[in-house]
Structure 1
């Protein structure tokens, strides 16, 4: 890391309607990485749009059950009107867990999902698991790690699972220049390690300006290599700095106190296990073994387009906790309630009525 604090923003100017202009944001530890990251986000969103040539099948789950994954395994919103006889749109993906083609709901793949009629919607579309890479395997790994990260962070954040503060003097040398720059710019940096029922740890970084606590951000990173997880959490936390959104709701949730309390246990960074190898295929297989341990099935949908030079995929996984979108029906997975009990944080499973959701600082 060179220690600079900067970001890249790519603006797409719509040739049809100015209201459809879009911004794409990049992060990284060098200027080139900032720009490349913003471009990659643009490629991902472009490839995720529905196109006229997409091979979409309209059918009910009852009609395609032998070839399809039941939509309920992806956790549908509370109060959904979905039923197995409802006709929805499907697209082919490939189950990495079973090694065979499978049909998955198109609503979970395309972003934005624009069906001919609204009754084909079963969830609010998002970008979770949408990823690109230098090759398809790299894209698959990136997307799968994002699914795992969002699952871990969502379950941990809204269940207030305990985290361990990483001892500052044990942090890797690669991150010290950026940490030094943040300190000189007046920021307090809190770094934690969290865990769920998956073997992989995630890193959470909370940044707060000493002179103005409303200027803050929080971000997390998950990777087989803890150093890369920390780099991702740090650079995204920087990317989310002012203008800060959602501060008030997040502040009122008690989250800042949670991240700045001296009550957390501590841990050495070098005690975090590194599962990564230099072989992407082996890294994917390691992630698949983690998914198998919680009976999750992993599916890849190829969204690559001939006019984009990088492969793009949408990764999906059953049983994982989706991201939660405030002011929309919640998608609370079985694991959301089971993990705190499994870890011994709670003695019994909570009810959905007991769950409180708040906006996360820095995210819209």
Structure 2
């Protein structure tokens, strides 16, 4: 017998108040509640059910049961019903309809009604209102709902505000963490009202965890605040209805009562928003940030950067689609789906781009890496969405998620590892930025004119000053097994830096594991180096026989493009590194403009190199499929689409003097382990005198592995024209008999 059912005296036993028994003799006892119906079968329970009306204690029940029901059987039945949460004890509460309904509510919540009523009426609630919100009206609502409002501190604080980024909330959060008092946020103003989350000091997130996520999802507003010198949220017009305000406050009262009554569940750590214009209720999860400066360890990110990057064995579990991965795409999406959300998510949204569904082109929000200064920089970031590509929609969706996380993890938050000094003061531990940025001295001479005529992607910095003091961040050299330093502004987006330093996403990658991410970062560096060597030298390269892959997906791709009045071909731009690298090109065959689009791909497996190039092509296709508003494109892209024709750029076509290469032209050795692939690429690069460095940018609150891989000497495919591989490799490979001169390089910068 359960102890709570065996207590004597006034402890009566009955069905839970939120359940109404209906007996259908010979069939079952049906317990009807708001959330469904439970059927209990058996003649004995039919006999016992009428007695479970809450008017009898155990002694009375045993006295009144029909003949044939023994005390042992009754007690066993009661124990099973209690274990199922169908019956409970009852006290001597007032039997009015209002009280009975309230007690039934606590029963439905799984709480003891008497204890819940006692807790909600004896606990104290503090009330704080920020700005123009009426504190007295809020306190009156709480009181009307049976809560005791304190004049000072209480067991719980309800804080009402117009914006969850109000500056006053920081001090409120600090005070509550110091006192250990939980508090509840509510936004009762606006067309969208919100309740939650509860903040419990020492358990779960704090307000600063929330504020970090909220701020990151307000890109345009942050730009306005910075330009106007505002510290708090941007002012908004007063909007709302009295009934909407009242609804939000009433719901907050219910949530406060549930909390004080002892009800706990994970969703209390979420914001629950109600959009009154669409009648949509949305949950926005708030998670603890281990690196939070308020409730976490703000040094954890910096400490991690000073640790070695150790690659371990990582068996490939997915080799389809566009790469080799440690986890299949569905597993990745399931594991990290919680990162998606417009309010508290790391990724605002993932949406399919316009165009044929076959393209599997997905978008995932503003590209932090594309932003420059001022309004044009904001437009660039918002226009150049992060995105994903893939043979399947799932591949593309996961790719979009990973790229958005990659950009967010690579953004500067202020807790990154940094040391202050100059290049000369750091001596041999510093990497010269020129070996990575690779600007030609002549580019500095014309930088003002160049920068005024080209997009932010093609920006030319000022010359680097080896004696200028700046922040530097450690990267782990896989080659030398030690830390070396690059300017922080080069390896983190948005970090303070002198005008001689700029960041970009080249070599940044997210993956299902650290090893996966390092491999993807290396492949991107190799790909862009090979593409730059081909593009700026404008050397004809062999085409690739698409039929030789015997790939039904490739056949369908060609049919889809043909249906759009376009032709597709593939070029082999593989460099001296020997890693298969392809460029897929699609052009319109009819009309005044050809709208030539391209995609690039590199992989140890030539089949996947081809697929990567073709899927990237598809990812870009939506911008040329429908009506094109060239005014929304950056200047280099607009110029390309307006003027480029294949007849005038014959190097874009397969070299007519070289036979097409087939799928087996490049030898390929499959390896079971991702780390073995990384080591193979590392060996190829080191044989040519280059060094591989890795910065682990994985954020503790996100957990999805992200790295920045740097190989000084490899070339970005933007306009970086310093001496080196760009000039030497075409001669070494026999594409040219002499290096191009600076003025002979392709004047059209690669716009991707």
Question: Which category describes the TM-score, using the shorter chain as reference length?
Answer: 0.7 to 0.9
Q: Which residue is equivalent to 1:195?
A: 574
Is 1:339 aligned to residue 733 of structure 2? no
Structure 1 stretch displaced more, 257-266 or 198-207: 257-266
Q: CA RMSD in A?
A: 2.7
Q: Which residue is equivalent to 2:710?
A: 316
Is 1:60 aligned to residue 414 of structure 2? no
Q: Which residue is equivalent to 1:229?
A: 609
Cα shift at 1:83: 3.2
- Counterparts of 1:89-168 in structure 2 under 5 Å? 89-111=471-493, 113-115=494-496, 120-168=498-546
Gaps of 5+ in 2: 1-320, 322-356, 369-374, 445-461, 625-636
Cα shift at 1:275: 4.0
The answer (yes or no) to whether the contact 2:583–2:598 under 8 Å persists in 1 is yes
> For 1:252-271, what per-residue CA distance to the aligned partner results, in whole angstroms no more than 9, with x for missing partners?
89336631664443222222
- Counterparts of 1:18-33 in structure 2 under 5 Å? 21=382, 23-33=385-395
Q: Which residue is equivalent to 2:677?
A: 283
Cα shift at 1:201: 2.5
Gaps of 5+ in 1: none
Of 408, 414, 417, which aligns to 1:46?
408
> For 1:145-204, what per-residue CA distance to the aligned partner results, in whole angstroms no more than 9, with x for missing partners?
100100000011111233111223312425333334333444311112122221222111
- Counterparts of 1:77-88 in structure 2 under 5 Å? 77=439, 78=441, 79=444, 80-88=462-470
Q: Which residue is equivalent to 2:359?
A: 5
Alignment CA distance shift 1:338-1:251 (3 Å):
same
- Partner SS for 1:81: coil
In 1, Cα distance between equivalents of 2:515 and 2:387: 23
Structure 1 stretch displaced more, 150-159 or 349-358: 349-358
- Partner SS for 2:518: helix
- Partner SS for 2:466: coil
Is 1:292 aligned to residue 686 of structure 2? yes
Q: Which residue is equivalent to 2:109?
A: none
Is 1:355 aligned to residue 745 of structure 2? yes
TM-score scaled to structure 2, two decimals? 0.44
Structure 1 stretch displaced more, 149-158 or 201-210: 201-210
- Partner SS for 1:169: helix
In 1, Cα distance between equivalents of 2:651 and 2:708: 36
Cα shift at 1:319: 0.9
Structure 1 stretch displaced more, 62-71 or 233-242: 62-71
Alignment CA distance shift 1:215-1:27 (3 Å):
same
Alignment CA distance shift 1:304-1:61 (3 Å):
same
Larger radius of gyration: 2
Alignment CA distance shift 1:345-1:215 (3 Å):
closer
Cα shift at 1:64: 0.9
In 2, Cα distance between equivalents of 1:315 and 1:98: 15
TM-score scaled to structure 1, two decimals? 0.87
- Partner SS for 1:332: coil
Cα shift at 1:249: 5.0
Alignment CA distance shift 1:125-1:172 (3 Å):
farther
Of 595, 603, 612, which aligns to 1:215?
595
Alignment CA distance shift 1:334-1:225 (3 Å):
same
The answer (yes or no) to whether the contact 1:217–1:240 under 8 Å persists in 2 is yes
